[in-house]
A = this chain, B = another copy of it.
């Protein structure tokens, strides 16, 4: 089934919107109240370009929550269970955020722009309200807002070549999650070695939305010798790579532990943070579910539209949250959330809209 998406003022267009239309975008989703391209109609071509070449993505929907002021560091530490004792200026960190019950409510990347200024580069939930309420009611001396920042991602093994051609040889020395402020043809941006794939690359955090088309065109020109094309966060690659997609892979009450993020939760930190007592209890008791890979047997399946129920000996034990046919493995794979006590060799059954299928647990990442 294919349905159209309605365009209107309630949801925002990205600064790259017109450029993506010119590039032939065919499918959108909505992410942080913005239209975000998902496909340009060539599923296999977009996948292989990411795996073997270089792809450029409109990820402006990855919004920033800026926290600035004397208490900015204290507030950031309070907002995440991760230990940030060594987070320096110019460094990014993956920082799960939980509510007071220890439930994951977002999994942003934190960028420290200065001693007193941070960005939370967020997944799809309105963390600006969470941060504003926490800051105001908790008496933190900070300003919280959404700056005019719109990331463009450059991903794939040839992304480095394109970045070198754009910014010079020094980008070779940038390590993962290092960033700095710079510009391109006068367009202000933050250049970060990061991105939502395991194929390597950069994110250009455009700092003035008026220059979306100009930045897009500059990157497209530099990438032309490497056969760059427009792409989008890639569903096949992300499942193969086991990347967490917030709200897709978790249940509304999932803790970081069941999602494989336990190493980022430090319940022994001396300072307080939101959810600390709840997370300490879950850490002691053990998580109730675990996030696993699945091999699903049989003919090639279409990607799932919603979670598919998973059973073990006819007893429901969870769901396949993201299922796709892997082009590298040439078989059906999935990311699933199952009861923590499910044995690794359990003979599972997945209820797909195309009939039941046998399945077994696989390690993440797949490839």
Q: CB within 8 Å of B: which of A198-250?
A: 235, 245-249
Please give, as numbers and ranges, the residues of chain B lying within 8 Å of A248 by CB-CB distance. 8-10
Interchain CA distance A29-B126 in the complex, whole Å? 18
Asked if A9 and B304 sit within 8 Å, CB to CB, the answer is yes
Is residue A30 contacting chain B, with contact meaning CB distance below 8 A? yes
Distance to closest chain B CB from A317 (angstroms): 17
User: Is chain A's binding surface mostly helix, strand, loop or mixed?
Assistant: loop
Of all chain B residues, the one with the shortest Cβ separation from A2 is: B4
Asked if A125 and B129 sit within 8 Å, CB to CB, the answer is yes
Interchain CA distance A252-B132 in the complex, whole Å? 14
Binds B, one of A134-142, A258-266, A292-300: A134-142
Distance to closest chain B CB from A221 (angstroms): 25
Binds B, one of A19-27, A151-159, A187-195: A19-27
Interchain CA distance A7-B4 in the complex, whole Å? 11
Q: How many copies does the complex hold?
A: 2
Measured as residues with beta carbon below 8 angstroms from the partner, the interface class of chain A is 35 or more
Distance to closest chain B CB from A336 (angstroms): 11
* Set B21, B133, B303, B307: member contacting A137, Cβ < 8 A: B133
* Set B12, B39, B129, B306: member contacting A126, Cβ < 8 A: B129
Interchain CA distance A7-B305 in the complex, whole Å? 5
Asked if A8 and B29 sit within 8 Å, CB to CB, the answer is yes
Distance to closest chain B CB from A311 (angstroms): 18
Contact with B along A28-47 (1 / 0, CB 8 A): 11100100001100000000
Interchain CA distance A8-B239 in the complex, whole Å? 13
Of the candidates A11, A39, A133, the one having the most CB atoms from chain B within 10 angstroms of its own CB is: A133
Please give, as numbers and ranges, the residues of chain B lying within 8 Å of A146 by CB-CB distance. 252
Enumerate 8 A-B pairs (CB-CB under 8 Å) in ascending A order: A1-B7, A4-B26, A6-B39, A7-B306, A8-B29, A8-B322, A10-B247, A126-B129
Report the 10 A-B pairs with minimum CB-CB distance, sorted nearest first.
A137-B137, A30-B30, A133-B133, A126-B126, A10-B248, A5-B5, A129-B130, A7-B305, A9-B248, A6-B38
